[in-house]
Structure 1
Amino acid sequence: MEGKKNRVAYFYDNEIGSFYYGNDHPMKPFRIKMAHQLIVNYGLYRKMNVYQPHRATQAEMLKFHSSEYIDYLRMVIPTVEESHFSLGQNDCPVFDGLYDFCQISAGGSIDAASLLNAQASDICINWGGGLHHAKKCEASGFCYVNDIVLGILELLKYHDRVLYIDIDVHHGDGVEEAFYLTNRVMTLSFHKFGDFFPGTGSIKDTGAEIGKNFALNVPLKSGMTDDKYVDLFRVITSNVRDKFQPSAVVLQCGADSLSWDRLGPFCLTIQGHGECVDYIKSWNVPLLVVGGGGYTVKNVSRCWTYETAVCLNEHNNISEYLPENDYYEYYAPDYELFISKRNEPDDNTPEYLNYVTTKCLSNLKELEGAPNVPFMEVPPNFFDTEELEKKMKSNSAALDDDEQEDLNRQKRYEEEKEEE
């Protein structure tokens, strides 16, 4: 789908790929560095503003999380044997640099939301974010600090209604729980349901109190394929848009819904996954795109590179053959951008999908329409716009020296062409 050229901002910290959850743990932050390498070597970084996020402060994290929990995150060390707040268990180990990792992830989503609020960008990308399982007082599902919730809270300073869409294979339970009682944030999650982590996300769960009907869950079965998924996604999201009328969207792009994922039972291709991003981008509302799950690292990096190109309207222009990069050998033997579809039985029968669609649209009909928000004083930003722009301009450290010089050279060339 072709559309207007968007101003795209991309947030990346060189240290994000250095954190290590431990031997045999499926979560590998290294995948973000692999994606960055592809983004750079495809030349996509030249077409967007590249920023290094600030590290979220304790005060910023306390906008959602409890002080006791954040204090513990900040102080805990890997050698501690007892478990508090669900840390130290198999899913959420304590590793070196844990608090730094949380600061980078959360800082990226807060910065991205601030840039959207300042109308300095149309789309902001933080592949280091998307940790949707973290709760107010608890780590869960490889997630410690919920950068998505913090980003949405920042967006709510300027936007009456924010829509959160989750295409991770797991239910976006932490974000739904955070906004379950409000009508200013609508949460919409497409996920595997049944005997599958986290076990929540029933089609009957729709919010409570003033937030009743502002949570929408799309429970799916194993084997989901592109055509069915994209059709269902378009129908439901278009109806949500028309009914809720969001002024900003946050899209969680967990890549564990792809074929061949170590933990996910869906059969989506990168093109199908990316088509969902392309459709939401076509709405032309401020869009925050974040990462999430994804445990076959070479496919995660492929997917998020392609979806970066989608945000830039460059996905039809990049080669299907991967450029040489520092991790080229990971993509053997084909060295191609796209992956094959896994041929597994699809348990999503037409009858079941018709039931899901009908029930979701019925839940939507319970909404009276987009809620009005009373006039209120806008709370202060974590930093003002002038400070934000100054900080962003100074953050060329997101790129290596050679990458930054290449970017500067390209900008000088473009400026000279304009003068001619």
Structure 2
Amino acid sequence: MRSKDRISYFYDGDVGSVYFGPNHPMKPHRLCMTHHLVLSYELHKKMEIYRPHKAYPVELAQFHSADYVEFLHRITPDTQHLFANELSKYNLGEDCPVFENLFEFCQIYAGGTIDAARRLNHQLCDIAINWAGGLHHAKKCEASGFCYINDLVLGILELLKYHSRVLYIDIDVHHGDGVEEAFYFTDRVMTVSFHKFGDLFFPGTGDVKEIGEREGKFYAINVPLKDGIDDGSFTRLFRTIISKVVEMYRPGVIVLQCGADSLAGDRLGCFNLSIDGHAECVRFVKKFNLPLLVTGGGGYTKENVARCWTVETGVLLDTELPNEIPDNEYIKYFSPDHLLRIPNGHMENLNTKSYISTIKTQVLENLRFIQHAPGVQMQEVPPDFYIPDIDEDEQNPDERMNRHTQDKQIQRDDEHYEGDNDNDHDMDDA
């Protein structure tokens, strides 16, 4: 056992102030709520808090096509009417709208995951957290499912510079299709996704039969579930499969996507997990004592997302949090009871014992084909940073000189950041 985990936590208040639009379920504002809850429980005193760098276009193009990155950089709400063909080509529209500061939003959440991976690579921490990340649907050349840039793929590519095998685990209610697709042909990344599966449920992929191809055959694992799965069934299945995966695959590092739309009562989800059930997965993965990168993901009932990720920050810090939420700027969202834990919902669990048993058997059977961990020829490690030698402020005179550039690192006692106040238009959907 490590005596005490060193934890790096990435946060930038700007990420929570972007607005997808009045009827859009994705509310980045939930990140401010999470952060203030973390502060109110004084968890920031137990970890190193960083403001991530804004990922450069050239860093985003490590996975995404350069023309797609360039398009995201260029498009604005005022000019989108001029780009009908490109909007359709890159899948921007209703699910993935163009909004103010879209590119900067992508740069910040992707920068957080890339920075987290780099700190782990250089053994500057044992666990790195970026709740703003986890946007697992974005593809190489297009946006998908509220995701524009796939920070997880970028983080994993970074980790592959120092680790021969990366394990990716996804507990979002939606299939982690973008990450699976990116690594479908390699044995250097194993992707394991637990998700709701059905023809009419986004993204429609993630059947147990999808197992990877060529060198990646048997290195994609999908655990398709039905509506209403509860803590007991989910955590038993999770522990069984993940312990076998770690034993067989022997990863050097784990990336855990903690989408909170798998919680009971989510606006878009259909599972029945309590926060403790969801957090149990985080607790279990932490016990392997491997370098761990933790991100957010989906989650559309904002106050429950904030509760969940705060509890999970506590789990990663081995800190039990009192159920009574301390006073904070967002306390009104947690009324009337101001409690941290939420009860399970009352959904019927459509996952019968025999269904779960069948899925478990199929997954464990597939794992037998990777009898021992693959050998990997390690190449020369590419440099961490390829930063073009340009002065960004001169290049974009209208981009405001904002405070990331002024202070890269948030001091631990810096409890409030300008720009974190409620967006008025965001209040009515709480």
- Alignment check: 8 A CA contact 2:68 2:90 kept: no
Aligned partner (choices 304, 315, 318) of residue 313 of structure 1 = 318
Match of 1:67 in 2: 66
- Alignment check: 8 A CA contact 1:12 1:398 kept: no
Name the Cα RMSD after superposition: 1.8
Deviation at 1:331, TM superposition (A): 0.6
- Alignment check: 8 A CA contact 2:44 2:412 kept: no
Match of 2:187 in 1: 183
Aligned partner (choices 404, 408, 412) of residue 395 of structure 1 = 408
- Alignment check: 8 A CA contact 2:60 2:154 kept: yes
The 2-side partners of 1:226 and 1:117 are apart by 33
- Alignment check: 8 A CA contact 2:168 2:256 kept: yes
1:72 alignment partner AA: F
1:230 matched to 2:231? The reply is no
Q: Which runs of 5+ in 1 are unaligned?
A: 385-390, 405-420
Deviation at 1:382, TM superposition (A): 1.7
Match of 1:250 in 2: 255
Distance 1:72 1:398, change over 3 A: farther
1:121 matched to 2:121? The reply is no
Match of 1:28 in 2: 27
1:346 matched to 2:349? The reply is yes
Deviation at 1:366, TM superposition (A): 1.3
1:96-137: CA deviation from partner (whole Å, max 9, x where unpaired): 000000000100000000000000100000001000000000
Indicate the SS of the match to 1:171: coil
Match of 1:37 in 2: 36
1:363-393: CA deviation from partner (whole Å, max 9, x where unpaired): 1111132111113211111279xxxxxx999
Distance 1:4 1:352, change over 3 A: farther
User: May I ask how many residue pairs the two structures share in their alignment?
Assistant: 395
Indicate the SS of the match to 1:104: helix
1:268-321: CA deviation from partner (whole Å, max 9, x where unpaired): 00000000000000000000000000000000000000000000000x2x2101
TM-score normalised by structure 1 residue count: 0.91
Please say which of residues 351-360 and 73-82 is displaced more in the overlay: 73-82
TM-score normalised by structure 2 residue count: 0.89
The 2-side partners of 1:10 and 1:85 are apart by 35
The 1-side partners of 2:138 and 2:3 are apart by 35
The 2-side partners of 1:380 and 1:47 are apart by 31
1:129 alignment partner AA: G
2:125 alignment partner AA: S
Match of 1:6 in 2: 5
Match of 1:272 in 2: 277
Match of 2:106 in 1: 102
The 2-side partners of 1:357 and 1:42 are apart by 38
Deviation at 1:87, TM superposition (A): 4.0
Distance 1:402 1:213, change over 3 A: closer
Deviation at 1:395, TM superposition (A): 2.8
Distance 1:144 1:119, change over 3 A: same
- Alignment check: 8 A CA contact 1:9 1:125 kept: yes
Indicate the SS of the match to 1:15: helix
The 2-side partners of 1:139 and 1:220 are apart by 25
Match of 1:57 in 2: 56
Distance 1:392 1:22, change over 3 A: closer
Q: Which runs of 5+ in 2 are unaligned?
A: 388-403, 418-430
The 2-side partners of 1:401 and 1:39 are apart by 13
Distance 1:101 1:338, change over 3 A: same
1:120 alignment partner AA: L
1:59 alignment partner AA: V
- Alignment check: 8 A CA contact 2:39 2:415 kept: no
**Identity across aligned pairs (percent)?**
54
- Alignment check: 8 A CA contact 1:161 1:246 kept: yes
The 1-side partners of 2:222 and 2:298 are apart by 18
Match of 1:412 in 2: none
Aligned partner (choices 208, 214, 217) of residue 209 of structure 1 = 214
